[in-house]
Structure 1
Amino acid sequence: MKRTIKYYLAGLAIAALVLPGCKKFLDVNENPNATEKAGEAQILPAVQASAAYVTGQYYQVFGGMWAQYWTQAQTSNQYKTIDSYASTASDFNTMWSLMYAGGLSDTDSLISKRFIKKTENYAAIGYAMRAYIFQLLTDAFGDIPLKEALKGDKNLSPKYDTQKEVYDSIFVWLDRSISLSDPDSDFTPGSDDLIGEGDMEFWIQFANTLKLRAYMRLSEVDAPRAQAGISAMYTAGAEFLSTDAKVSYSTAGGNQNPLYAEMVGLSRVQNIRASSTAVNQFKANADPRLTKFYTLVGGIVESTRQGSFDTTNTERPLSRPSPLLGGDARTDVSASAPVKLISEAESYFLQAEAAARSWGTGNAQALYEAGIRASFAAYGLTPANANTYIAGAGKWPGGTVAAQVKAIITQKYFAMCGNQSFEAWSEYRRTGFPDFLVDSYASVLPAGVKPARFLYPQTEQTRNANYPGNKKIDEKVWWDK
């Protein structure tokens, strides 16, 4: 379905989030925007813009580096600590507070309206967005405040809940979202819904797809629960996304792709370059998406070893992330790159894995190939391009479930290059695929050890009396087995 998003609403929502200044975001329980006094038509786009801003900027950069799509440029400095796995707690302050004090706090206002007939669909979207943002938080940080969070001045030191408890809540919220969604209602959002434009059938599919993602995340830590949950979804006739769930942007100031906007704010310094880890695999597969995901240098994609930024004082010409990903600081087209919360390709790959594990119905091979086709189509490649790839490097492996899961996750990795980087890194942590990631040349960790989590922010250490203690960057979260 074609969606025409009202760009100015996204711009206003993002401006409300990012313009007041960092100091107002230091307290995770304080809502600096006071949107609880605004109407649902103002609150909803603020929630969605907040989620997209964090996903498309902070999470995209960490995921892009740690999934090894991108590496730090040799003559600049912005992301050296990320690329060398030497991040500090203060690096995570803003993203944490944007999600708690911005997006999550505002979902309270939407959810509180669930008993009012005219706003039930807003509440349904509020529950879906709350589940989405809390999954971002817990997948990155592990145990986080949940039950005692978002209480404002009533509790400035919320206790931390286990990641399992957070996931329990995610499933509850998604079920509430689905039950409240009423596609036949006369009262639905419109252009104030930046992601779905008030299409409640879309939001039911969004909730089902996010629930499938969440259950699949438990595959290695609690397979019986994952299987039971997914099987129940299929028994109930769940439908999943067949289009991207995304926030669109434009070249207009104040409504630009958040990664590009960050680069503009840094005087267009190009910190991100192509990593040979991903590029060499695209080249080996003769994958035409290579030139959709990276810019050309002298007619080819030029990359460098992950973390090799200190090996020379003079940077040789290297490819940049494509403007289609919002990652080219020198090209204004980057401003209009969308932020994908859940992609059509991801939806098919999730369904393919469910079928391969016999947890869901459907043909695993057909769904796997649908995921590849969706990725090709999203970046302007033809069905013939996809068919050629599927007949070659993307051929379905058949054989064992393990071989099928490896192929599904590996192809998901390629599809998510630079557009769902954090999700690709999370799937790597869950499954160990793709199996070709290397140690960063600049790594401060022991050989063979890679990042496994974000660090708790410094603001939590200094302000929350229930702070659970420091975590190491290589300390795994609950579901990462």
Structure 2
Amino acid sequence: MKKSFSHKVAISLLAITLLSGCKDLFDDKNIQSNPNAVTDVDVATLLSGTLVGVAELHEDTDVRISAIWAGALNGLSRQHQGYADYIVAASNFSWDPLYPVASQARLIQIKADAAGDKWTKGVGQVLEALLIEKATDFYGDVPYSQAFDDVKYPTPVFDKQADVYTALITTLNNAIVNLSASAGLSFSEQDFIYQGNVSKWIKAANTLKARLYLHLGDYTNAIASAGAGISTTADDALIPHGTSQGVDANLNYVFFKVNRPGDTGFDGAYLPTLLQSRISSTNTKTNETALYNHIIKIGITGNGSVDPNTVDGAFTIDAPHPLLTSYENLLIIAEAQARLGDNTKSLAALNTVRGFLASGYFNGKTIPTTGRKYDAYELADFGPTGLANPTKLATVQSALLYEIIAQRYITLLMQYEDYNDVRRLAKATPTVQLPIPLYSGTQKPQRYIYPQGEVNTNPNVPKPLPDQFTKIPIFQ
């Protein structure tokens, strides 16, 4: 892992985003710099650039692959058709820019320490946790404890996934402590997520912690963390976008509409089937027509094609993209409470999400009133003959879990948490899963393959090399 960790590399993120076609993803004076003219940057400038990298890494090819492997999106042509056939090689994956951006998040912390700035350090810790969580959720065992100093550790060890999770939770606990400090330096101009609001960053850290605990099946701690997490839509961590192509455009729009129209879509995917089952059904308390039309548009790339809505819906050029949201946080509470047997508290959290959906809110945009219905549920709705028990599950607990899982699948679209759910739910008890069909073969893809560059240069890569059908440790 040749990722130099030094003050000189602090500006390398600008070159990374240039090479990836996102040089001007956000029009901010703090990140309009010449990488050939400087050898160091201040912590505020570093924060701006790192946030750009984090944004890109949540709208990239890896996230699209995860949506395909979750069955929510389909690969229809060229390379993405191969992904839908679950055909991948080590050359399909890369840790550049993931680890370089993560190293910037670590460097933020070092620079913040030097300035005595706990608030910015706390944000750097949250960003580091977001990125390393993505790495370990896709690959399992990954470098972390030795990842950010290639002078001392030119070939870092691959930490066990359980140890990575423990370390990430510690990192987030430390972030919360730092963000709770009585004072810190202002970074409102550099922070395009929360405009320097440390209280919101604390909530985001708790929601990410709750996600980790949910993955681990530690439902008590998931509930506790989510209780201090993002509870209202006003606190959602959203990546803002604008209308300038090549400057601040939503990267899903760029892929779906500009660069590769028709390479991916919802033709043959499970998501339209799930949404349609919640339209004009026996569930008279729910109508997701408006959300279906917000996500899906028929006929953009061809006659009758089932496309991502890049015209007036979820994937327009200026559509915000979610990092961490109240929907995820509340549905963590709902699922965890149900699994612990408290259906009443579970239902309360689910109904809060439904109330937000009834208002029309969806990831920073508003869906139309027509075809939008999310009346509050009662526990009786999940009985064996209840209107919210379409598969006639035997218990209220199981039927409630099915509804929660379905709502997560829809609201977490194009976030890799959908793919985490598909793998996680096979292990969780009681076992409740959506009937998502495979696109190809008989095996469900369970992980990404270690990148060829890492295989070639790091003797610590796990051996034998796991293939894409080998489960990652936390979901075994």
TM-score of the aligned structures, taking structure 2 as reference length: 0.79
Equivalent residue number for residue 70 of structure 1: 73
Equivalent residue number for residue 292 of structure 1: 294
Q: Structure with the greater relative contact order (CA < 8 A, sep ≥ 6): 1 or 2?
A: 1
Q: Structure 1 residue 373: deviation in Å? A: 3.5
Equivalent residue number for residue 7 of structure 2: none
Equivalent residue number for residue 264 of structure 2: 272
Q: Structure 1 residue 233: deviation in Å? A: 4.3
Equivalent residue number for residue 90 of structure 1: 91
8 Å CA contact 2:354–2:374 kept in 1: the answer is no
Equivalent residue number for residue 245 of structure 1: 237
- From 315, 320, 333, the counterpart of 1:338: 320
Q: Structure 1 residue 349: deviation in Å? A: 0.4
How many Å separate the matches in 1 of 2:344 and 2:109?
34
Q: Structure 1 residue 119: deviation in Å? A: 2.2
Q: Does the alignment pair 1:347 with 2:329?
A: yes
8 Å CA contact 2:237–2:325 kept in 1: the answer is yes
Equivalent residue number for residue 29 of structure 1: none
Q: Deviations over 1:33-56 (max 9, x none)?
A: 799821111111222221221211
8 Å CA contact 2:119–2:184 kept in 1: the answer is no
Counterpart amino acid of 2:308? P
Tell me, what secondary structure is at the counterpart of 1:275?
coil
Q: Deviations over 1:414-456 (max 9, x none)?
A: 2223x32x1111111101464221121xx2x4x2x11111111
8 Å CA contact 2:295–2:313 kept in 1: the answer is no
8 Å CA contact 2:71–2:436 kept in 1: the answer is yes
Change (3 A) 1:215 1:16: same
8 Å CA contact 1:111–1:122 kept in 2: the answer is yes
Counterpart amino acid of 2:423? R
8 Å CA contact 2:240–2:320 kept in 1: the answer is yes
- From 406, 423, 439, the counterpart of 2:402: 406
Q: Deviations over 1:180-233 (max 9, x none)?
A: 0147536231031121111111011001111111001011xxxxxx14534664
Counterpart amino acid of 1:66? W
Q: Structure 1 residue 464: deviation in Å? A: 1.0
Equivalent residue number for residue 145 of structure 1: 143
The 10-residue stretch of structure 1 (242-251 or 356-365) with the greater mean CA deviation from structure 2: 356-365
8 Å CA contact 1:72–1:83 kept in 2: the answer is yes
Q: Deviations over 1:162-185 (max 9, x none)?
A: 100000111000000100014753
Tell me, what secondary structure is at the counterpart of 1:340?
strand
Change (3 A) 1:359 1:399: closer
Equivalent residue number for residue 304 of structure 2: 317
Equivalent residue number for residue 437 of structure 1: 436
Equivalent residue number for residue 428 of structure 1: 422
Tell me, what secondary structure is at the counterpart of 1:320?
strand
Change (3 A) 1:21 1:425: closer
Tell me, what secondary structure is at the counterpart of 1:475?
coil
Change (3 A) 1:263 1:377: closer
Q: Structure 1 residue 147: deviation in Å? A: 1.2
5+ residue gaps, structure 1, are: 1-11, 23-31, 220-225, 303-314, 329-333
Tell me, what secondary structure is at the counterpart of 2:238?
strand
How many Å separate the matches in 2 of 1:395 and 1:211?
34
Tell me, what secondary structure is at the counterpart of 1:295?
strand
8 Å CA contact 1:206–1:241 kept in 2: the answer is no
Equivalent residue number for residue 311 of structure 1: none
Counterpart amino acid of 2:472? V
8 Å CA contact 1:406–1:434 kept in 2: the answer is yes
Equivalent residue number for residue 366 of structure 2: 380
8 Å CA contact 1:242–1:347 kept in 2: the answer is no
What is the identity percentage for the equivalent residue pairs of Structure 1 and Structure 2? 22
Equivalent residue number for residue 255 of structure 1: 248
How many Å separate the matches in 1 of 2:312 and 2:88?
24
8 Å CA contact 2:136–2:164 kept in 1: the answer is yes
Change (3 A) 1:241 1:123: farther
Equivalent residue number for residue 4 of structure 2: none
How many Å separate the matches in 1 of 2:173 and 2:181?
16
Change (3 A) 1:359 1:240: farther
Equivalent residue number for residue 274 of structure 2: 281
How many Å separate the matches in 2 of 1:160 and 1:186?
35
Equivalent residue number for residue 189 of structure 1: 187
Q: Structure 1 residue 77: deviation in Å? A: 1.2
How many Å separate the matches in 1 of 2:343 and 2:199?
21
How many Å separate the matches in 2 of 1:191 and 1:323?
30
8 Å CA contact 2:122–2:178 kept in 1: the answer is yes
Tell me, what secondary structure is at the counterpart of 1:128?
helix
Q: How many residues align?
A: 420
Counterpart amino acid of 1:99? L
Counterpart amino acid of 2:232? S
Tell me, what secondary structure is at the counterpart of 2:65?
helix
Q: Structure 1 residue 106: deviation in Å? A: 0.3
Q: Deviations over 1:252-301 (max 9, x none)?
A: 222222233345773x5431121342212211211221111011339xxx
Q: Structure 1 residue 360: deviation in Å? A: 9.1
Tell me, what secondary structure is at the counterpart of 2:373?
helix
How many Å separate the matches in 2 of 1:356 and 1:396?
15
Change (3 A) 1:361 1:327: closer
Tell me, what secondary structure is at the counterpart of 2:168?
helix
Tell me, what secondary structure is at the counterpart of 2:374?
helix
Change (3 A) 1:126 1:400: same
Counterpart amino acid of 2:318? S
8 Å CA contact 1:128–1:174 kept in 2: the answer is yes
- From 447, 452, 472, the counterpart of 1:477: 472
The 10-residue stretch of structure 1 (373-382 or 244-253) with the greater mean CA deviation from structure 2: 373-382
Question: Equivalent residues in 2 for 1:27-66 (5 A)?
Answer: 37-66=40-69
